[in-house]
Amino acid sequence: MLNILIADDHPIFRAGIKNYINREPDLKVIYEAENGTEAFNYLIDNDVYFVVIDIGLSGRSGLDMLPDIKMVGLVL
């Protein structure tokens, strides 16, 4: 099972992506974050294979997070 994190500040978008991803038997959305800081804090302590990030996140955009995500060890 591949763990996925969704980071988006729009609940309806998160719900739609989660519903679509969870249709696949080998994929599982394990966390939904409302902002970049929340997403990054989760990534530090948890096993996540794939991240879906809104590039226009409030607070800290998905693009701003890329260097830190790479530092944590996820492949970009």
- pLDDT, residue 33, reads 96
The pTM for the full model equals: 0.88
Beta bridge partners of 28: 3
pLDDT in tens, 34-71: 999 899 999 999 999 999 999 888 778 888 888 888 88
Which residues are registered as beta bridge partners of 50? 4
Burial of 50 (0-12, 13-18, 19+ CB in 10 A): middle
φ and ψ of 58, to 5 deg: -75, 150
CA torsion 52→30→26→23, rounded to 10°?
Answer: -80
CB 12 within 8 A of CB 37: no
Domain boundaries, the chain: 2-72
CATH level 3 topology of 2-72: Rossmann fold (3.40.50)
